[in-house]
Amino acid sequence: MPREITAYSNPLVKRVRNLRDKRHRKDEGLFLAEGLRILAEAEETGVLPLWLFFAADGAGHPIARRLIAKVEAAGGEAIETTRDILHKLSGKDNPQTVIGVYAQPETGLERIDRSAAPIWLVAQSLRDPGNLGTMLRTGDAVGAGGLILIDDCVDPFSVEAVRASMGAMFTQRIAQARWPDFLAWLRAGPGLLVATHLEASVDYRVPDYGKPTFLLIGNEAQGLPADYAAAADVRVKIPMRGKADSLNAAVACAVMAYEVLGRIDGVRPPASRETA
């Protein structure tokens, strides 16, 4: 039976509210996810929250009822609370009717099975949580294995990144590593490293991509460092016919991912250098 919490001073409310801060998320090994859609996506992958906070006016929804029952059956705790407390937990003026508290998954490279998917996304020094969330959604859409974050990236477990992923963070493996460690890991097994780079001379439609392909996207402002790009097996560029010199990082990732997917599925043959 769900318990009820209505006091701001409740220790669990304070603890969960602190998860909006990166340091507390890291110390606790926990993160927040909001909304029936995202929590239902997590449930479909077999992941349930440790705590489920819900407002009384949303408890009658069939998905909410199912989540409450499953959380309690799994040994978690379902907690009925007020909209004001949900606002306090999420930081949003108009919070969702449910908020889940989840355990952070392990993010070491050793947990990556490169043979599990034909495409893997790799982002270097990504700063924007919206871009990170969009890349996770792209990865889910193309059947990628996950997103590998290189060097100092935005926290993938921030409320903003989780929200932007629209549930894809539960379907995609997330790994974090420094560049030398990633490169050593990559070269220890099969994998084609493809970098998008402004200085590249090869159109992205020309190479013959194979399995598994690791798509390397650089920082939103600076792009990839030259030595990172030089270490790639293939360096490509996306033609820009207007005045802009590059696409948004998440958009470039999506363009590249669908090109690789089409090639792997045999839908798109490589373009010739003359006609690309």
Residue 276 pLDDT greater than 50, yes or no: no
Among 8, 15, 58, 5, CA closest to 34: 58
Q: Specify the CATH number of the domain 3-103.
A: 3.30.1330.30
By three-state DSSP, how is residue 43 classified? helix
pLDDT band at 1 (very low <50, low <70, confident <90, very high): low
Helix axes 129-142, 249-264, angle to 10 degrees: 10
pLDDT digits (tens, 9 = 90+) for 236-248: 998 877 777 677 8
Identify the band that residue 186 occupies on the pLDDT scale cut at 50, 70 and 90. Answer: very high
The CB-side HSE value for 75 (13 A sphere, CA atoms) comes to: 1
pLDDT at position 163: 92
Residues 203, 252 contacting (CB under 8 angstroms): no
pLDDT 10s digits, 100-132: 999 999 999 999 999 999 999 999 999 999 999
**Pair 138, 113: CB distance under 8 Å:** no
pLDDT, mean over the chain: 91
Return the CATH architecture of domain 109-264: 3-Layer(aba) Sandwich (3.40)
How many CA atoms lie less than 13 Å away from 124 in the CB half-sphere?
24
Higher pLDDT, 198 or 55: 55
Domain 3-103 identical in fold to domain 109-264: no
Q: Residues 218-231, buried b or exposed e (16+ Cβ, 10 A)?
A: bbbeebbbeebbeb
The residues spanned by each domain of the chain are 3-103, 109-264
Tokens matching residue 258: 């669908």
Tens digits of per-residue pLDDT, 143-174? 999 999 999 999 999 999 999 999 999 999 99
Alpha-carbon distance values, 244 to 198, 223, 239, 241 (Å): 12, 14, 10, 8
